[in-house]
Amino acid sequence: LSHLAGRDDLLVLGLPRGGVPVAAPVAEGLGAPLDVFVVRKLGVPGREELAMGALASGGVRVLGEDVLALAGIGEDELEAVTRREQAELERRERLYRGERPAPSPAGRTVVVVDDGLATGSTMRAAVLALRRAGAAHIVVAVPVAPPQACAELAEEADEVVCPAQPEPFTAVGAWYEDFAQTTDAEVRALLDATLSRGGGRAGGR
């Protein structure tokens, strides 16, 4: 990502929770402001680990029509899950950011960071939301992902940076020495540290 360093329109967004510890050194290294971009998976009722879609900041909902059809999910079930996850998305935004306004991506180069991709559905929701919000150039940056997920995201984002694309992939956590759960407190601390270093312009533009 070093080719982006020094741009005055740059914004780095981490997908909480796990993407924020990866995004923080990226933002510091590029001299860019850091913030969070909250995305929530919409899990199939009773099989919540199976994503039927995702929600992102800005009111964007991405649906996996194939999963919805296979799981036989009706409109009422889908709306109930959406309402619950929307409430959690808004709660997390308040928790992480407090009263500080969300940064505007309009007209900016935005680097969206996560700790890795599996299916890429949550990252896709983030990219679509940022596109809708007027981001000028969207870079997806992850340390590890399956080649297929990177290829699919390359159709949505302007640039995909992923140095490790192992085959077979198994799971994101398999490629980390330490994949302990990131806490809400750790996310807040990383954001606060960025602001204390002078990254307060994250809320600007």
Specify the pLDDT at position 198: 56
- Alpha-carbon distance of 163 to 142, in angstroms, equals 8
Percent of the chain with pLDDT over 70: 95
CA separation, residue 22 to residues 26, 85, 92 (Å):
7, 24, 19
Q: What is the pLDDT of residues 35-75, one digit of tens each?
A: 999 988 898 998 887 888 888 887 788 888 888 998 999 99
Amino acid 205: pLDDT: 42
Placement of tokens 């914004």 in the chain: 11
Lookup: tokens for 50: 């199976």
Please check the confidence at residue 192 and state whether its pLDDT lies above 50: yes
Residue position matching structure tokens 């199939």: 44
Mean pLDDT for the stretch of residues 149-177: 94
Segment (H or E) for 28: helix 19-30
Find all residues with CB under 8 Å of 67, minimum gap 6, and list them: 44, 50, 51, 52, 53, 73
The Cα–Cα gap between 26 and 66 comes to: 35
Angle (CA) 102-106-109 rounded to 5° is 100
Q: What are phi and psi of 79, to 5 degrees?
A: -65, -35
pLDDT digit string, tens, across residues 80-110: 999 999 999 999 988 998 888 888 899 999 9
How confident is the model over 125-148, as pLDDT tens digits?
899 889 988 999 999 999 999 999
Question: Average per-residue pLDDT in the chain?
Answer: 89
**11-15, 26-30, 128-132: least confident range:** 128-132
Cα-trace Rg, the chain: 16
pLDDT of residue 197: 63
Unique residue bearing structure tokens 């959406």 = 82
- Do residues 160 and 140 make contact, with C-beta atoms less than 8 angstroms apart? yes
* Residue 135 phi, psi dihedral angles, 5° rounding: -60, 135
Does the pLDDT at position 30 exceed 90? Answer: yes
